[in-house]
Amino acid sequence: MQYFQHQGDRWGFKTFSFRDSLQLLTLPLRDLPAAFLTPEQRARIRKEEFPYTYYTASRYAAGVGSVREAATHCRDSQRFIDSVTAFSDA
């Protein structure tokens, strides 16, 4: 398993692990909530934004990044910021 350490502004240090779940799951991603969560849990699911173009091989190798810079790679940068903030508060 590989890890990416994220250094970001007011969020401090976070370690994200990216796992290849395709090898584990045989159903479409849209069906995952129904397979594992109760209706009440599914009602609390929020859509998140992920800056795929920000996480390049060179940035991954360097092991650090900026939340603000990553947000510029999102269609909805505020949704990304809100997701990171919610993750930080959890």
Structure-token pair, residue 18: 């990216």
Q: What is the pTM (predicted TM-score) of this model?
A: 0.50
Alpha-carbon Rg for the chain, nearest whole angstrom, is 15
For 59, the domain range is: 2-89
Q: What is the pLDDT of residue 1?
A: 45
Structure-token pair, residue 62: 């360097």
For the cut 70, the answer to whether the pLDDT of residue 67 exceeds it is: yes
Q: How confident is the model over 6-55, as pLDDT tens digits?
A: 555 555 666 656 666 566 778 888 888 888 899 999 888 887 888 989 98
SS3 assignment for the chain = CEEEEEEEHHHEEEEEEECCHHHCCCCCHHHHHHHHCCHHHHHCCCCCCCCCCCCCHHHHHHCCCCHHHHHCCCCCHHHHHHHHHHHHHC
Q: How confident is the model over 52-66, as pLDDT tens digits?
A: 899 888 888 888 888
Q: How many domains, in total, are found in the chain?
A: 1
